[in-house]
């Protein structure tokens, strides 16, 4: 029997060391005072991920060797696991237009409206409108090109034209465009099923800009010709392979001819995975989406139904994970059994995973620290400077810009997936030297990521200190806990509906997570400070302990852990109580703040050991496998030798409760009848551990795997065990 991770089994005492109180040492500054030159890739210790819950030894296993080894199914607010189960159209499907609202009906005579328009805009525009209406009636309206009326420099007259169409042609929309330096009114068909193919749409201002607040892109959202018996939103289940949510919806939106922002979803899923989630789209017929399945690659849509409300970020309870760890190597069968059972019973520290900070050599929290200090130029440099881990052509483009500072050349060389970099450069081209304005040119969800990342950096370090000083066995005086009733001395209501977005920068090794706060007034948590009376009454346990994400409305623990936040921030030159600049969105005091549980248990965890010989064989069944009713062929099955498995009894239905206690005792432990390949007569045989479990939203399955393996989840480490 051989042990290959670590070189020697981790002694229990080395883990317990993390759980014993020890003098607090402030971590090194987050290197935000100096721009790194090709710094090393980020490791877990750099962002405060230091401790484990248990002293159980780990074992070797490869995470995400194939994207099919990481399967994610969304769990909705009712606790139902979302699966792709059907491609059938809903029974209430109908493409009939509401009576009297079909613009292509030949029974409608628009001659009166055309004559009225003639008196308003003249002969030429009236005839253009007549021809346009005839084309809509005689052909597929979505194929009819928009018309542009005669040049009109009179703003008040253009307003009259817009109002005329609003009153008389509900199925047409107008906007103002510039043609040859002259403003003109453009007229387009507004279908109930996606609108015209022209994708430019209305000119949209960024939120917070000077444009009209109610301006929306042209995607038929204002159309009236929609059947009254159908909900205005089509809800469907999105199944995708090795694509992030935004990428998949971008492909679907392009095929439908609608803006990507027409979609609604509760949360985004990992790119390197197979995932199923709910999505809504405004005023689209199921038939159009179902027709895309034959053309989509790595994407499928189904389970259609019409609903009254669209999804928004945060409307989910969590995610169900099916994770396969390949290449499992352990000294004995008992180590794997104990680790899996220990994860189920003991849980893990609820750290923010490396995705939160980006896995490149310029972590997002470093940029966030520069923003909090008002170091605008330094923040821009961190965004643009060369970094480790990127493809050669990207690195060359960064180095070229750093040497010569030529923005035009940089914009030609920087690929379009570098959204933040290109936005900064384009603004600097227009406003040289205005670095704050350049930072604000980055899309808001992306630029806010940087400060949120620094909040998470502080939280991780505080969580490690809480575990190191006070352990996980009990609540201590001064801890913050979620209230179980309304009686408390010190309360704070904070929106805790964060959901996890991932921004793909075109490099499979570098994904950056973008937090987005859901606009919900219902998801509030109330916290209180634990006092001596609470300790005597035993009202709370460690599962209730939370730590704040710094902000203007959060409470801090009333014990030594509060100092951790302030001392680390002070070491980085940052104050958590006052801002040194006037840019509110880049200030801790301008943010509300949040709370997060220190400890998390996987819900309904089950596991199975598989023996296989071919790395290319999928070891877990996907929704598409089930819906297609296809199984691996005989030749493929010959490559899978199933051993005796320890497997907890699964629930028969798909509904789960995230509040249920799954800490099992001896009567519910896993079977030990497992034969590992280290004793096998077939040296080519390999072992995989397949786990299924559910986590609440914003929790990281990678952190659960870290506890199981007692090994780093960093890309660098995974490459060393999966070359």
Which tokens hold the place of 481? 């806990």
Q: Which of 46, 219, 244, 270 is catalytic?
A: 270
Residue 500 contacts residue 696 (beta carbons within 8 Å): no
* Closest CA relative to residue 593, chosen from 605, 576, 578: 576
Q: Is the peptide bond before 6 cis (omega within 30 degrees of 0)?
A: yes
Give me 35's structure tokens.
Answer: 């721009």
Contact 414, 422 (CB under 8 A): yes
Is 40 within 8 Å of 594 (Cβ atoms)?
no
Rounded to whole angstroms, what are the CA distances from 16 to 20, 54, 271, 627? Answer: 7, 8, 35, 47
Query: Does the CA dihedral 11-16-18-24 come out positive or negative?
Result: negative
Distance of alpha carbon 340 from alpha carbon 347, whole angstroms: 10
The Cα 215–Cα 46 span in angstroms is: 43
Tokens of 419: 């959204």
In 3D space, the residue among 331, 461, 466 whose CA is nearest the CA of residue 56 turns out to be: 331
Apex CA 604: angle with CA 356 and CA 54, to 5°? 65
What is the DSSP secondary-structure string of 147-164?
EE------HHHHHHHHHH
Helical H runs in 283-363?
286-290, 333-346
Cα radius of gyration (the chain): 29
Active site residue 270: yes
Provide the 8-state DSSP code for 41: P
Q: Nearest 5°: phi and psi at 281?
A: -140, 145
Burial of 563 (0-12, 13-18, 19+ CB in 10 A): middle
Q: How far apart are CA 647 and CA 344, in angstroms?
A: 12
**Active site residue ranges:** 270
């Amino acid at each position: 029997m051989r042990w290959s991770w670590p070189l020697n089994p981790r002694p229990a005492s080395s883990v317990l060391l993390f759980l014993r109180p020890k003098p607090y040492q402030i971590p090194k500054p987050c290197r935000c005072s100096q721009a790194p030159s090709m710094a090393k890739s980020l490791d877990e210790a750099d962002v405060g991920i230091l401790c484990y819950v248990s002293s159980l030894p780990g074992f070797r296993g490869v995470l995400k060797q194939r994207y099919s080894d990481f399967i994610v199914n969304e769990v909705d607010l009712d606790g139902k696991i979302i699966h792709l189960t059907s491609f059938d159209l809903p029974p209430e499907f109908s493409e009939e237009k509401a009576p009297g609202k079909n613009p292509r009906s030949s029974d409608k005579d628009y001659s009166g409206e055309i004559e009225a328009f003639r008196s308003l805009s003249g002969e030429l525009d009236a005839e253009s409108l007549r021809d346009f209406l005839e084309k809509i009636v005689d052909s597929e309206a979505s194929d009819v090109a928009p018309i542009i009326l005669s040049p009109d420099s009179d703003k008040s007259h253009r307003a009259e034209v817009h109002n005329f169409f609003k009153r008389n042609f509900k199925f047409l929309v107008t906007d103002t465009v510039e043609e040859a330096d002259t403003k003109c009114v453009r007229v387009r068909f507004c279908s109930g099923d996606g609108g015209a193919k022209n994708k430019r749409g209305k000119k949209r201002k960024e939120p917070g800009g000077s444009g009209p607040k109610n301006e929306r892109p042209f995607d038929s959202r204002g159309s009236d010709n929609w059947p009254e018996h159908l909900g205005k939103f089509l809800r469907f289940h999105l199944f995708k392979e090795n694509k992030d949510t935004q990428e998949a919806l971008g492909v679907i939106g392009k095929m439908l001819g609608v803006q990507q922002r027409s979609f609604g979803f509760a949360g985004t899923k990992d790119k390197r995975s197979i995932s199923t989630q709910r999505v809504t789209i405004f005023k689209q017929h199921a038939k159009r989406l179902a027709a895309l399945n034959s053309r989509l690659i790595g994407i499928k849509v189904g389970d259609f139904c019409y609903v009254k409300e669209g999804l928004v970020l945060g409307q989910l309870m969590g995610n169900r994970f099916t994770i396969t760890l390949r290449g499992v190597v352990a000294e004995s069968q008992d180590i794997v059994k104990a680790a899996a059972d220990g994860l189920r019973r003991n849980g893990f520290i609820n750290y923010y995973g490396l995705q939160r900070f980006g896995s490149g050599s310029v972590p997002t929290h470093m940029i966030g620290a520069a923003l909090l200090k008002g170091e605008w130029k330094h923040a821009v440099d961190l965004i643009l400077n060369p970094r480790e881990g990127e493809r050669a052509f990207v690195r060359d483009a960064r180095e070229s810009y750093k040497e010569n500072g030529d923005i035009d050349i940089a914009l030609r060389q920087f690929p379009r997936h570098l959204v933040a970099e290109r936005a900064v450069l384009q603004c600097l081209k227009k406003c040289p030297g205005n670095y704050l304005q350049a930072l604000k040119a980055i899309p808001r969800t992306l630029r806010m990521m940087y400060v949120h990342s620094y909040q998470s950096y502080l939280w991780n370090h505080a969580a490690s200190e809480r575990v190191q000083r006070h352990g996980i066995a009990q609540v201590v005086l001064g801890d913050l806990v979620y209230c179980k009733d309304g009686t408390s001395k010190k309360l704070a209501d904070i929106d805790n509906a964060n959901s996890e977005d991932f921004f793909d920068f075109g490099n499979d090794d570098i994904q950056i997570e973008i937090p987005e706060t859901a606009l919900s007034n219902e998801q509030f948590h109330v916290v209180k400070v634990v006092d001596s009376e609470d300790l005597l009454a035993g009202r709370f346990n460690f599962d209730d302990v939370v730590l704040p994400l710094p902000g203007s409305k959060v409470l801090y623990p009333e014990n030594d852990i509060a100092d951790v936040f302030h001392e680390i921030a002070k070491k980085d030159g940052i104050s958590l109580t006052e801002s040194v600049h006037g840019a509110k969105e880049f200030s801790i005091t301008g943010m509300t703040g949040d709370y997060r549980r220190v400890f998390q248990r996987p819900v309904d965890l089950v596991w199975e050991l598989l023996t296989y010989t071919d790395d290319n064989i999928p070891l877990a069944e996907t929704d598409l496998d089930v819906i297609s009713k296809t199984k691996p062929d005989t030749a493929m099955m010959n490559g899978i030798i199933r051993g005796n498995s320890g497997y907890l009894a699964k629930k028969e239905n798909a509904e789960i409760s995230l509040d249920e206690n799954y800490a099992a005792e001896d009567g519910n432990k896993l079977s030990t009848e497992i034969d590992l390949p280290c004793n096998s007569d077939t040296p080519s045989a390999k072992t995989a551990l397949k786990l299924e479990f559910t986590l609440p939203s914003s929790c990281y399955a990678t952190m659960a795997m870290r506890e199981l393996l007692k090994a780093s989840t960093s890309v660098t480490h995974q490459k060393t065990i999966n070359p």
